[in-house]
Structure 1
Amino acid sequence: MRFQDRAVLVTGGASGIGRQVCLMAAKEGARVAVGDLDAARAEQVAAAIREQGGEAQAFRLDVADPASVNAFVEGAETALGRLDVLVNSAGVREIASVLDLPLEEWTRVLTINMTGTFLPSQAFARRLVAEGKHGQIVNLASTLGISAAPNRAAYTASKHGVVGLTKEMALELGEKGIRVNAVAPGVIRTPLTERYFQDPDMAATIRGLHATGSWGEPEDIARAILFLAEEANGFMTGAVLVVDGGWTTGKKM
């Protein structure tokens, strides 16, 4: 198994893509640290892994709070015995025009999405460097980290920031044995986007905008994340892997 006895830490691990990363990593032999602001749901994911014979520990995690982040990384290392992979999956979005977007909402989205990627990455990398160990970081970007869409100013800015941060960390940390990559998902059916799919007309529109004629599922992105985290892909760093069913390839007219 690709992740046998390796420790995989996941932020935003209680739902959506993060949850799938936890479950799939565990099936590949990983020891999993499930970090999420919703501690009860994080424990549900960890319990599901343990019920299948895997090893998992849940942590309440606020990715915007340095003390909480440090406690998560240190606690995960203590519980799992090592640090190998960090997946930054925690994130939020807004729906508001540039003209109507409140400063508070702008700040909230950038803090969780961008600072909430930086702080766990920094804490994780510091521990690895101090211990002279190698590791992998995989960030969750978005197709809106390389393009734009209406009414997503904060989200688009934050995900562009995640792409830039991924490249910067890859550049700085590569010689220390830490690879940093990102996955840029397209439209994925998660709790964050579920309301789109409850409208049959909207669902049909989404299908039609993809070259594949379908939207993505969390499993599609989790597979890509774990691909980037594999030790076998040791020459990949600073990459942004677009997994979007052809969303950014072109639009059907």
Structure 2
Amino acid sequence: MTIALPKTPSFDLIGSRALVTGASSGIGLACATALARAGSHVTLVARRAEQLHALQTALTDEGLHAESLPLDITDLAALEHEMAVREPFDIVVNSAGLARHSPALQSQPDDFDTVFNLNVKAAYFLFQFAAKKLFEAGKPGSLIAISSQMAHVGGVDRAVYCASKHAVEGFTKSMAIEWGKANIRVNTVCPTFIKTDLTAATFNDPEKRAWIEQHIKLDRVGEVEDLMGAVVYLASNASAMVTGTSLKVDGGWTAE
């Protein structure tokens, strides 16, 4: 008897075009590196031009394909223009984001607006602009939002941040439903606390670090490398049947 073995889907991204926001450091830098090493030509987006160009140089020195696009994605007119004048991106990873933590009773309107303008409004329209180009070209695509475990739970002093990430989960699900017939997939990656320059102050606070370590079941905090495989998976054909979902890279935090 002859058995026909199934073919393992490919994780390679050779020939694809990717755009990564928040690429100048931390999680965004790791995502851009992972996609470039998987074979994608990556457009690096962030406000800090010097850091972007340094990353571009580091990637091209490895023989990888990358270009820099200094841009503040909360400037929606500029973002729409840049997306319109470029060929459609097969992959978009939105890693741009920020947090302003405070007790809910002390939240200020300016903090709320600043967080939502970047974490929700800019993220929403980035995906809309990317999808429009894919629809015009009749191409499939994979849109990936770097969300958070806090999109699925609550946290002390994190009401505004949690609200913004819950909103991201909501619009990605709706977009996935609307755009599924065009084979445009929309998903989120939800990390736990990851060691980056932006989280250094949190990890340096013994009380906050103890709270984090208490909730992570794998008995260690997250590293940017923990997210690289998840992003390549969602960007590639290996996840061809995955849309409208959250890939939690949280060390078991939300298992409770």
When normalised by structure 2's length, the TM-score is: 0.91
Aligned match of 1:96: 102
Aligned match of 1:7: 17
Contact 1:90 1:116 in 2 (8 A): no
Q: CA RMSD in A?
A: 1.5
1:233-252 equivalence runs, <5 A: 233-250=239-256
Equivalent residue for 1:19, pick from 29, 38, 63 = 29
Contact 1:144 1:159 in 2 (8 A): yes
Aligned match of 1:86: 92
**Aligned amino acid, residue 179 of structure 2:** L
The count of corresponding residues between Structure 1 and Structure 2 is 246
1:51-130 equivalence runs, <5 A: 51-74=61-84, 77=87, 83-130=89-136
Contact 2:23 2:52 in 1 (8 A): yes
1:10 partner SS? strand
Greater Cα radius of gyration, structure 1 or 2: 2
Task: String of CA shifts for 1:82-133, please: whole Å, max 9, x gaps.
Answer: 5210001100001111111110110000110001211110111000101111
Task: String of CA shifts for 1:121-174, please: whole Å, max 9, x gaps.
Answer: 011100010111111101111111111101112111100000001101100111
Q: Residue 186 and residue 200 in structure 1: after superposition, are their counterparts in 2 closer, same or farther (change >3 A)?
A: same
- Unmatched 5+ residue regions in structure 1? none
Task: String of CA shifts for 1:202-238, please: whole Å, max 9, x gaps.
Answer: 4344323311000111111222122111123111100
When normalised by structure 1's length, the TM-score is: 0.92
2:53 partner SS? helix
- Unmatched 5+ residue regions in structure 2? 1-10
Does 2:132 match 1:161? no
Does 2:176 match 1:170? yes
**Which ranges of 4 or more aligned residues in structure 1 deviate by more than 6 Å?**
none
Contact 1:33 1:76 in 2 (8 A): no
Aligned match of 1:31: 41
Aligned match of 2:153: 147
**Aligned amino acid, residue 172 of structure 2:** T
Does 2:185 match 1:179? yes
1:130, 1:209 → 2: CA distance? Answer: 45
Aligned-pair distance for 1:65?
1.6
